Amino acid sequence: MEIINKDKKAITTITSNINLLEYVRKCLHYKELIWALVKKDLKVKYAQTRLGLFLSILQPVISLLIFSLFFGKLLHLGSDGTPYPVFVFIGLISWYYFSILVVISGTSLIESQQIIKKVYFPKLIIPVSKAISALMEFFIWLLVLVVLMVIYKITPSYKILFFPVFLILNMVAGLTIGIWLSALSFKRRDFIHVVPYFVGLTMMVTPVFYHVTIIPQNINYLLYFNPIAGIVQGFRWCITGNETFSLWYIPSFLIMFLFFFLSVWYFKKVEYRMAEQL
């Protein structure tokens, strides 16, 4: 039964299910909303703060001082040849962006319950917009890194062109877990408390403040299961050029992408149930 439609208006069909392609198309239709939400996040974040941007810069600087003091000066952890502060800071930027992404995109849906119940748009937009607004934080940290590199007189090579690749990988890594978390947390709130804790622990198994060489040779390969390790190494490889980037990381990236698509698929599957469960 076709519906009569002389004016050729776009027809939306609502049935019990929605396929992935249609869903992605819907998300793209709302791309303006993504930017509006990003803009809102940034404005809200710095509304009513005097120190605003200054605080955002202070945070990485303090982390930098603590890490280079404790691990560099006191524990004498070695680097890849670059001065330890630069070495550790690249690791910190990448890992910090990853972990903040998991937390804010993971909790973003629960925070926007009101909207979810009352108006329709593809909810995937919420965690994605959070990932983009968190980029602001990332760029502020990057600014500190640039200052640091000027101080230590480090000039990047042509490899810096790969920087966006690793940035995207970093974003996908954080979003994958963030989307899973946001979708799962609707059924069981426990995830909100547990997952960020384990994300915090991943710093230990990722060469953020230590160099890969301190891991015994015979279990070195375990690192290749950790895409975050690959991303951190990749950043160092493309920024300072002193690190080597192993192609053995690529399978873990591929698996990560697989999980990313699965997360979108799962998210789509439970999206309509979210409004019911609230």
Distance CA 86, CA 89 (A): 5
Nearer to other proteins, 14 or 247 (CB): 14
Q: By C-beta, is 17 or 155 nearer to other proteins? A: 17
Q: Which residues bind other proteins (CB under 8 A)?
A: 1, 3-7, 9-18, 29-30, 32-33, 36-37, 39-40, 43-44, 47-48, 112, 114-121, 272, 275-276
DSSP 160: G
Residue tagged 């602001």 (tokens) = 136
The distance of closest approach from Cβ of residue 23 to other proteins in the complex, given in angstroms and rounded to an integer, is: 12
Using DSSP, state whether 252 is helix, strand or coil: helix
Quote the least distance from Cβ 171 to other proteins, whole Å. 23
Of the pair 114, 155, the CB lying nearest other proteins is at 114
Euclidean distance between CA atoms 206 and 34, whole angstroms: 31
> How far apart are CB 113 and other proteins at their closest, in Å?
11
Residue with tokens 């239709």: 29
Task: Tell me the closest approach of the beta carbon of residue 120 to other proteins, in angstroms.
Answer: 4
Comparing CB distances to other proteins, the nearer of 30 and 245 is 30
Helix, strand, or coil (residue 238): helix
Distance CA 122, CA 24 (A): 9
